[in-house]
């Protein structure tokens, strides 16, 4: 796998960006305002293309996401000087990579999940919305979930700071699943914001710039736990 490291201040904490499916750091994101904004906050950024995407070798294979996420996370921890100085910023498919890390017992300082999806239903929801209810129903037995991990369970178990940014309506996440996430967030007293955009629009926005919620979130963490 190949990616990009954008240094912040000396000894800065590292923001590990897990992008959405097929998005690539090596295809035009390097000089993006998003990474400049992170750098202006004094933070470093680590972004790596998934296998089979952009400059990374190999072919895409969703079950490998768990192992690949662990390798990339280890590099972020090394560059940050400890996992208590790592911030994970994950979008769409990247939220499953994050859930797999939490299931392994990792505990980053902060997690921001944008347009989250659930491993149990993402294939079902995608097929129903994109190719229709009946073809999607027929296809489901032939397609396995990308990972065996429960995002809701991991949110309830995480010990770090966590914020969720979700679209108002999401074809990859049903209203019932939105409620499950919302209940988990409220139970853990974590941050939640819903924006009036679709899943795709929210992913595009996330790739472009930081959300206002994030900037304040990161500054507080820099001043408190991470900065100490």
Given this model, what pLDDT does residue 45 score?
Answer: 94
Kindly report the CA angle at 78 between 73 and 80, in degrees rounded to 5?
90
Q: Is residue 144 part of a domain?
A: no
Q: Is residue 208 part of a domain?
A: yes
SS3 78: helix
How many whole angstroms from its chain centre is CA 128?
Answer: 23
Given this model, what pLDDT does residue 17 score?
Answer: 94
Report the domain count for the chain.
1
Given this model, what pLDDT does residue 142 score?
Answer: 40
Residue 224 burial class via C-beta count within 10 angstroms: exposed 0-12, middle 13-18, buried 19 and up: exposed
Given this model, what pLDDT does residue 139 score?
Answer: 45
Q: Is residue 125 part of a domain?
A: no
Dihedral sign, Cα of residue 20, residue 25, residue 26, residue 28: positive
Residue in the block written with tokens 């100085």: 85
Given this model, what pLDDT does residue 106 score?
Answer: 94
Given this model, what pLDDT does residue 182 score?
Answer: 86
| Tokens standing for residue 174 | 């049903």
State how far the Cα of 163 lies from the Cα of 191, in Å rounded to an integer.
4
Given this model, what pLDDT does residue 222 score?
Answer: 72
- Residue numbers in the chain where pLDDT is lower than 50: 30, 134-142, 227
Q: Is residue 68 part of a domain?
A: yes
Q: Is residue 140 part of a domain?
A: no
pLDDT tens digits, 148-166: 788 999 998 887 788 899 9
Domain span at 70: 3-119+151-222
Q: Which residues, in sequence order, are CB contacts of 65 under 8 Å at separation 6+?
A: 50, 93, 96, 97, 100, 146, 147
Given this model, what pLDDT does residue 217 score?
Answer: 78
Tell me, what CATH number does 205's domain have? 3.40.50.1820
Given this model, what pLDDT does residue 57 score?
Answer: 62
Q: Is residue 7 part of a domain?
A: yes
Q: Is residue 83 part of a domain?
A: yes
Given this model, what pLDDT does residue 67 score?
Answer: 86
Given this model, what pLDDT does residue 30 score?
Answer: 46
Residue in the block written with tokens 């926005």: 205
Q: Is residue 96 part of a domain?
A: yes
Q: For the whole model, what pTM was predicted?
A: 0.86
């Amino acid at each position: 796998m190949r990616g990009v490291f954008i240094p912040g201040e000396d000894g800065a904490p590292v923001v590990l960006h897990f992008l959405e499916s097929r998005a690539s750091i090596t295809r035009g994101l390097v000089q993006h305002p998003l990474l400049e904004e992170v750098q202006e906050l004094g933070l470093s950024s680590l972004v790596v293309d998934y296998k089979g995407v952009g400059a990374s070798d190999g072919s895409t294979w969703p079950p490998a996401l768990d192992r690949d996420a662990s390798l990339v996370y280890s590099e972020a921890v090394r560059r940050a000087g400890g996992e208590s100085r790592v911030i994970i910023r994950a979008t769409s498919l990247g939220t499953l990579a994050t859930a797999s890390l939490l299931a392994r017992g990792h505990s980053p300082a902060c997690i921001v999940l944008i347009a989250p999806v659930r491993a149990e239903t993402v294939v079902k929801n995608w097929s129903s919305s994109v190719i229709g209810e009946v073809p999607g129903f027929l296809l489901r037995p032939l397609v396995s979930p990308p990972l065996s991990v429960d995002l809701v369970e991991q949110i309830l178990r995480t010990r770090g700071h966590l914020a969720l940014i979700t679209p108002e309506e999401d074809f990859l996440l049903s209203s019932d699943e939105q409620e499950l996430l919302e209940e988990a967030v409220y139970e853990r007293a974590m941050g939640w914001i819903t924006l009036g955009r679709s899943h795709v629009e929210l992913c595009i926005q996330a790739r472009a710039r930081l959300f206002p919620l994030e900037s304040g979130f990161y500054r507080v963490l820099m001043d408190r736990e991470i900065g100490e």
